[in-house]
Structure 1
Amino acid sequence: MLTISESIRVNGAAAPARFGYGRENGTAFVQTPPLRPLLGPMPDRAARELVPVLRAAQPSLDS
């Protein structure tokens, strides 16, 4: 995720990148549409809770 973030910082992105971080459990993700989100290590529960949030922002995501 750091490599992607640095690439966006240096080169920009075709579409606005999305970043997320969960303070309670240290989870993180980055997404550069139209690509799928890249998730960092996280507990199963956190991943399940993140799915509806990401789908709300980008309904075309499938399971």
Structure 2
Amino acid sequence: MFPGAVTGWIKFIPSYYLVDMVHRVASFNAGWGDIWTNVIIMLVFSVIVFAIGILGIRRKAL
């Protein structure tokens, strides 16, 4: 999907997994079994960002 030099570090960007899911579903008619790892990674990232946001709001409220 990306050139050789980029493939190593691009997977640290969470949006990569979203783009990869859309690409697989749109181009290869992938199902849940094919993209479940990307879904889990996106959910974990979302929980982490949500938790950081909650902690930030709590710090400002105190």
- TM-score normalised to the size of structure 1? 0.33
Task: Please identify which structure carries the higher strand content.
Answer: 1
More RCO (CA 8 Å, sep 6+): 2
- TM-score normalised to the size of structure 2? 0.33
